[in-house]
Amino acid sequence: MVIQIWRKAVIIIRLMNSESNKSSSSGNSAVIVIAIGVIAVVLGALSWVYLKPHFSPAGQSGVISESSLPKEIASVYIPNGRPLAGIRLTDHNNQPFTEERFKGKWSFLFFGFTHCPDVCPTTLLVMKAVWARLPAEAKQAPEPQLLFVTVDPDRDTPAILKAYTTYYHPDFLGVTAEHKFLDILANQVGALYGYEDGDTEDSYTVNHSAQIILIDPQGRFRAVFSPPLQVDEIVKTFVAIRKYHKGK
Amino acid sequence: MLIKKILMVMVALIITLPANAKEILQFSDAWIPEAPPVVKVMAGYVKIKNPTATAIDINKVTSPDFEKVEMHLTIEKDGMSRMQKQDIVSVAAHDEMIFQRGGLHLMLINAKHVMKRGEKITLNFSTNKSTFTVMAEIKEASIGDPSHHQH
């Protein structure tokens, strides 16, 4: 529970950061201050929720607490996810990918890079298995799409991305962006990445968020699936999220 | 005099030989997931067992089919996934080290030719004293443990 709250706090901080779009190296102390503030607010809200178990927030517009969500989605769902904006990516067919292309689809995002031999193939294989196990109704419109977002745009060209992502599933889409626009996307969904030198100039590796991000068909940041990623868990939760959205 | 020296060297050899001979490592389930042909870096997985009473340090891995091989550990911290290069992997006495997905793995860098499924790749694991040659098969990438499919 505490870990979930912390993750959400981190996400909220990244959302706040995205406003100013500053580089990750600056403003650390500000981030800490905000983090403490966020934790205080979350703890306050939680104690309020737990200390008043008989009070129902239903009917209070705009107030969605975690406890009012269906149990199966509560740990991943972001109740007040904001619409993504300023998205300027290029897909693996060299076509522009803006926030418009989130509309009318459920988009799973994974941040990785093709020089990543262990985690990235494993995650794409997990998502391939998810695709295979999704029930037919979960594949209907608004249909799901998977974006493999490279955190290594200098080495991962659209052509390389296309060969890489479609190898795992013909429907998977690789996307890249200039560093500036990569940050704009990453900041809005709480994704982190950073470069680490290798022995030679081009053998650097990239540390990156291992979560799967879910964007809803209105283009809003909606859920985060954190490792360890379990195929059945993702399938079940995604179906439940779709159901919850339909009922709203 | 010369004979005495030769004898001394022989005695020294006999004394050190058993120590050398004791370094035994047992390798099993060595495999390399097939990867898109565009990738520069592949992973390798293997199970290494040390049946001896002494820890054995692997400090180098090479392959004639790759420019370079490194040992890496995938670690996940604060939701971030990172790879940590391991200069030495120590297999404790009467214990085993498993190179597997999401953990310790071989990083096979710059394949010298396109790797096809079913192909066997030579991997040389070295310690300060010995080198162990292991054949790793290129297999279909899957999230299950491929050794389960074989039996």
The pLDDT of residue A49 is above 90: no
The topology (CATH level 3) of B24-140 is Immunoglobulin-like (2.60.40)
Edge-first strand order for the sheet with A96-97 is A96-97, A89-91, A173-176, A144-150, A106-112, A212-215, A221-225
Are B41 and A115 in contact, with CB atoms under 8 Å apart? yes
Are B41 and B108 in contact, with CB atoms under 8 Å apart? yes
Give the model's confidence band at A53: pLDDT under 50 very low, under 70 low, under 90 confident, else very high: very low
The pLDDT of residue A34 is above 70: no
Q: Are residues A117 and A181 in the same domain?
A: yes
Domain count, chain A: 2
Domain ranges of chain B: 24-140
Structural domain includes residue A218: yes
Average pLDDT over residues A84-103: 98
Q: Are residues A141 and A199 in the same domain?
A: yes
Residue numbers of the domain that contains A62: 2-68
> Is B147 exposed, middle or buried (CB count within 10 Å of its CB: 0-12, 13-18, 19+)?
middle
Mean pLDDT, all residues of chain A: 81
Q: Are residues A242 and A159 in the same domain?
A: yes
Contacts of B145 in chain A (CB under 8 A): none
> Is A81 exposed, middle or buried (CB count within 10 Å of its CB: 0-12, 13-18, 19+)?
buried
A140: nearest Cα among A110, A106, A101: A106
Q: Which two tokens stand for residue B42?
A: 């592949």
CATH of the domain at A138: 3.40.30.10
Per-residue pLDDT reduced to its tens digit, B37-84: 999 999 999 999 999 999 999 999 999 999 999 999 999 887 789 999
Q: Pairing state of beta strands A221-225 and A212-215?
A: antiparallel
Indicate which of A113, A118, A152, A166 best probes the interface with B, i.e. most B CBs within 10 Å of its own CB: A118
Per-residue pLDDT reduced to its tens digit, A109-162: 999 999 999 999 999 999 999 999 999 999 999 999 999 999 999 999 999 999
**Cβ within 8 Å, pair B79-A119:** no
Higher-scoring residue by pLDDT: A136, A65: A136
**Which helix (H) or strand (E) is B110 found in, with range?**
strand B104-111
Contacts of B136 in chain A (CB under 8 A): none
Higher-scoring residue by pLDDT: B61, A44: B61
Q: Are residues A123 and A205 in the same domain?
A: yes
Structural domain includes residue A84: no
**Cβ within 8 Å, pair B40-A115:** yes
Are A69 and A241 in contact, with CB atoms under 8 Å apart? no
Structural domain includes residue A76: no
Contacts of B72 in chain A (CB under 8 A): 118
Structural domain includes residue A81: no
Higher-scoring residue by pLDDT: B8, B17: B8
